[in-house]
A and B are shown apart, each in its own frame.
Chain A
């Protein structure tokens, strides 16, 4: 009986792993098939080629899209790390008139779906001439109420003794923040980095609204327009898809411990 359960258990474990891996495996395989072989199920290993990849990166600005994605996701992440942490710290530790109000506002706007402000922000950016610009992609997203909330909760849970001692020693608030609080906040910062970076790296609706020339596309937008154009050639289409997916998978595999820890942190409290 126990053995039966064990077998069943491993069937589920391995079964779901296979279910997860097949789409990737099949896509990678197809992306390496030549166009005549595209619809064949079995092809000899020797006929697999990287031609589709060279084709797409020479014919389409995939590297430019990659660069744009790095610039946008990178800047947004750095901005969020800095600003959310500063604000989260202030909300947790520094007493100033209006602190309570600000905290409630942060809580309240967390509930508002992004789509509500999408239209006004779009109009505003259009009036500023920020459509199809990096600042349009980046500036509206430099802070996040969720990030502020997370950091506040984190600092609240942190023992205050160390900071009080430093205060008595005459360290300024800035000093305390940068020398004491920030180093202690590493796990929360890691979590934020991952959230912000992943979220922005994969973000689609906003950049596709804002980008009008292909030199300003981010990877998801570029991939989508590429896909609409080349749907008849699945091997090239999937080469583009994998071009966008594989770097992220590698980053994930290297930092997987942090990823998983980071996401887990968000669920606490």
Chain B
């Protein structure tokens, strides 16, 4: 399609986006790169001194960063698969012929529209030492814990909370994927006498691959950027004993508590690199699988 004045219109259409990307994204990315190679304190930006790769190499000798990285990886390893499994299960449920389908769909989706801060407060109340969860566990004779203050359970508790919050969103995406699967495939399978399990294994799951890929990427990116829940639950400390300190959380603390923005920027780029690598690996993996 061509039109006189299209050129001008085209540029006009993209102008706001170009300005905004340049000012708030591209420029800052380069500035962040610059900062990450300096000893840069926000309080005295004029005294920034060249650090070379210092900030980057320091990261891998910093036990707190390694702990934060470990926590974040553990968190992702736990949250991503469980989240996807539950989301798929729920999607299959609300896609099947059950009564009150809409009701359940709405209920499962509720946590997604609730702010992480609000969810964190609610869960802290439920899981506190003398909270409802421990009360019920106690009645059932199961040992109870001070979940969010326990070395063993603080991180898993945050993980559970994250799963609870985000499952609804992925369920809906799966639901859309499910509705795109041609009905004929199932009909043909039925004629061939396939069991429900076989239908799931050989039709639904392969047909959902692109959806799963999308969800997997979203989920991993989200997990590696976890911050809000941990911040609220540990009151900005990452405790107990750094058990709820994520990479972004540590980055935040380094920049805005320890006045060390160069170090924090280096952390941000390492995080970027990790996410990039994970995405590339997944893409490769999924492409090979589908071929």
Contact, chains A and B (beta carbon distance below 8 A): yes
> Which segment, of A45-53, A56-64, A255-263, faces chain B?
A255-263
How long is the Cα–Cα vector from A23 to B107 in the complex, in angstroms?
Answer: 12
Q: List A contacts of B106 (CB < 8 A).
A: 252-253, 256
Q: Please tell me if B248 contacts chain A, counting CB pairs below 8 Å.
A: yes
Q: List A contacts of B69 (CB < 8 A).
A: none
Contact B173 A105 (CB under 8 A): no
| Apart from A115-B251, A167-B1: 10 A-B pairs, beta carbons within 8 A | A86-B13, A94-B10, A109-B26, A115-B252, A142-B16, A143-B21, A172-B3, A204-B231, A263-B172, A268-B176
With contacts A13-B98, A13-B104 taken as known, whether A219 is within 8 angstroms of B115 at the C-beta atoms is yes
Contact B24 A140 (CB under 8 A): yes
Q: List B contacts of A111 (CB < 8 A).
A: 272, 275-276, 279
How far does the Cβ of B26 sit from chain A's closest Cβ, in whole Å? 7
Chain B interface residue count, Cβ-Cβ cutoff 8 angstroms: 91
The size bracket of the interface on A is 35 or more
Q: List A contacts of B42 (CB < 8 A).
A: 123, 126
Mask for A102-115, Cβ within 8 A of B = 1, else 0? Answer: 10011001011111
Contact B225 A96 (CB under 8 A): no
Contact A114 B93 (CB under 8 A): no
Which of A26, A109, A205 has a CB less than 8 Å from the CB of B25?
Answer: A109
Mask for A134-162, Cβ within 8 A of B = 1, else 0? Answer: 00000110110100100000000000100
How long is the Cα–Cα vector from A84 to B224 in the complex, in angstroms?
Answer: 26
How long is the Cα–Cα vector from A252 to B108 in the complex, in angstroms?
Answer: 12
Q: Please tell me if A34 contacts chain B, counting CB pairs below 8 Å.
A: no
Contact A99 B211 (CB under 8 A): no
Which of A94, A105, A119, A252 has a CB less than 8 Å from the CB of B32?
Answer: A119
Q: Chain A interface secondary structure, helix, strand, loop or mixed?
A: helix
How long is the Cα–Cα vector from A268 to B21 in the complex, in angstroms?
Answer: 25
How long is the Cα–Cα vector from A201 to B118 in the complex, in angstroms?
Answer: 12
- Residues A73-131 near B (CB distance < 8 A): 82-84, 86-87, 89-91, 93-96, 99, 102, 105-106, 109, 111-121, 123-124, 126
Q: Please tell me if B289 contacts chain A, counting CB pairs below 8 Å.
A: no
Which of A94, A120, A241, A256 has a CB less than 8 Å from the CB of B9?
Answer: A94
Q: Please tell me if A7 contacts chain B, counting CB pairs below 8 Å.
A: no
How far does the Cβ of B111 sit from chain A's closest Cβ, in whole Å? 6
> Which segment, of B54-62, B74-82, B120-128, B181-189, faces chain A?
B120-128
Which of B2, B24, B45 has a CB less than 8 Å from the CB of A95?
Answer: B2
Q: Please tell me if B70 contacts chain A, counting CB pairs below 8 Å.
A: no
How far does the Cβ of A33 sit from chain B's closest Cβ, in whole Å? 12
